[in-house]
Each structure stands twice: as structure tokens, then as C-alpha cells.
Amino acid sequence: KIIEKKEFPGNQLPIIFGTGLLSCIDGQDRMASFIRSARDAQRFHNYQAIEIAYALKTSRREQFIGTPANIAGLEEVWKNVANQQGMLPAIPDPITGQLPIKLPPNEVPSSLMALFQQSQQSIQSILGFYEANRGADSMEKSGVAIKEQQRTGILSVAVFYDNLNRAIEQ
């Protein structure tokens, strides 16, 4: 649905073209975007995030393990997850005398979490942007160390900023 229709006051869109990394290959100029070298690392990072979500989705949801005799007559209380109580009533099993046992919460496998963090660090190192560049807490303790980390991150994209400024100026 068209919400509003107006005549555009010109014959060209006001878009500034700025080159990124420019390389000459076989006599032809080839441009590459800033994020081109990080695409595979980002794909791997996205894949790890999907694997973590899948691991959580397919994990078991039970919170207790017990026998049917433990909840005989109390089934509605145990099956209703919206029921908020301070405790879940249970009956000791007539054979074993045991009550239901609380199971530990499900956890994401540590190998998946390690790969997820590694892929995140790979993207940061490829692009030259680290947590300190964004103002997040980092390992640096002094102001000089923080400023040096920020300067290093800025240098990694200086070509793009320079080209953008030149395009704007033209």
C-alpha cells in the first residue's frame, strides 16, 4: 500500500559512493567491503548460536524424578506448571520409601559455549574491533592502555573513514 506519494526533487538519489579496500587485480580495480573478511567467521558464529538454541530446545524439561506412587492423588498439582506454590506435595514411595528427587537444571554443553566465544573473538580480531573499542570492560587497567586499544581499533578502519570523508567532500 502506498502511504504517501511525492515528486522527488532531482534526477539522482542523494547517495554517497565511498570505496572500501581497493585492489588492482589483472589491471582491474576490485573493491572489497569492510566486513568481507569477517563473513565466514560470522557464519560460523551464527551456526554456533543455532546449535546452542537447538541444544536448549531439545533438552529434557523434567525437574524431578520419582515413581507414580510419589504423586498418587496429586497429579493435577504436579502437571500444572502455572501452579505457584512454596512446595510440591509428595508421598513417599511405599516400596522404596523415597520422595521425588530434584534434577539439576539443563546446561548448554561447554564445548558449544567455548566455540561460540572463540568465534566471537575471531570476528573481533579480524575486524580489529574489540570490546574496549565499544566502551565495554576489558583487561586494560590504565587509561593509557584503554586509549591505545581504541586507537588500534580506529586504525583498522581508517581507510574506510578516509574514503567516506573524501566522498562526502567531493
pLDDT digits (tens, 9 = 90+) for 109-131: 899 999 999 999 888 887 777 77
- The larger pLDDT score, comparing residue 125 to residue 28, is at 28
The separation between CA 129 and the C-alpha centre of its own chain, rounded to angstroms, equals 16
- The larger pLDDT score, comparing residue 28 to residue 166, is at 28
What's the pLDDT score for residue 134? 61
Q: What is the DSSP code (8-state) at residue 51?
A: H
DSSP string, 71-113: GTT-HHHHH-TT---S-------TTT-PPPEEPPPP---HHHH
**Other C-beta atoms lying within 10 Å of the C-beta of residue 38:** 19
Strands 21-25 and 101-102: unpaired
d(CA 165, CA 158): 10
User: Which pLDDT band, with edges at 50, 70 and 90, does 76 fall under?
Assistant: confident
Three-state DSSP at 137 gives: coil
Q: What is the DSSP code (8-state) at residue 68?
A: G
Report whether pLDDT(78) > 70. Answer: yes
Task: Return left, alpha or beta for 148; rule: phi > 0 is left, psi -120 to 50 is alpha, else beta.
Answer: alpha
Whether the predicted model's global pTM rises above the 0.95 cut:
no
- The larger pLDDT score, comparing residue 152 to residue 73, is at 73
Strands 21-25 and 28-32: antiparallel
Compute the mean pLDDT over every residue in the chain, rounded to the nearest whole number. 81
What's the pLDDT score for residue 81? 72
